[in-house]
C-alpha cells in the first residue's frame, strides 16, 4: 500500500498541493485537512494529482468539499496531473470537468 502524502506550498495568492500515494478512506482526514488548509491560505489552489496511485470516493469527496469551500470564499480550486485510473475516476464521477483549470494551465 502506497502511503498517502500531501505537500503544500503557498506563494502569494496561490497555494499548490501535491498529493501522492493512495487517496482513500484511510487518508480521508489527512487529505481533507491539507486541502482545506490550502483553501484557507490562498484564493487560488492547484492540486497536483500526478503522484496519486489510487483515488476512491473519499478522495473525490475531499476534493469536492475543498472546491466548494474555495468557491464560498470567492476563490478557485483546480486539479492537474491526474492520469490513468485517477483521471478515469474523476471523469466518470463528473468531477474532472468541475475541477479542471479554467485557463488550462497551472497558474490558475
Q: Which residues contact 73 (CB under 8 A, 6 or more apart)?
A: 39, 43
Ranges assigned E (strand) in 1-108: 5-11, 14-23, 44-55, 76-80
Q: pTM for the full model? A: 0.91
478512506: which residue's cell?
Answer: 25
How far, in whole angstroms, is CA 78 from its chain's centroid?
A: 7
Topology (CATH level 3) of domain 5-99: Transcription Regulator spoIIAA (3.30.750)
Domain positions in the chain: 5-99
Query: Which three cell numbers, joined as nine digits, stand for 82?
Result: 491526474
- Tens-digit pLDDT profile for the chain (108 aa)? 579 999 999 999 999 999 999 999 999 999 999 999 999 999 999 999 999 999 999 999 999 999 999 999 999 999 999 999 999 999 999 999 999 997 544 444
User: Environment class of residue 5 by beta-carbon count within 10 Å: exposed (0-12), middle (13-18) or buried (19+)?
Assistant: middle
Amino acid at each position: 500500500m502506497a502511503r498517502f502524502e500531501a505537500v503544500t506550498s503557498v506563494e502569494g495568492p496561490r497555494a499548490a498541493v501535491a498529493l501522492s500515494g493512495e487517496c482513500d478512506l484511510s487518508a480521508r482526514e489527512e487529505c481533507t485537512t491539507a486541502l482545506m488548509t490550502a483553501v484557507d491560505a490562498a484564493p487560488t489552489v492547484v492540486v497536483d494529482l500526478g503522484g496519486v496511485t489510487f483515488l476512491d470516493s473519499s478522495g473525490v469527496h475531499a476534493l469536492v468539499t475543498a472546491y466548494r469551500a474555495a468557491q464560498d470564499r470567492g476563490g478557485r480550486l483546480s486539479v492537474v496531473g491526474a492520469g490513468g485510473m485517477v483521471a478515469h475516476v474523476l471523469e466518470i464521477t463528473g468531477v474532472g470537468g468541475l475541477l479542471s483549470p479554467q485557463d488550462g494551465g497551472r497558474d490558475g
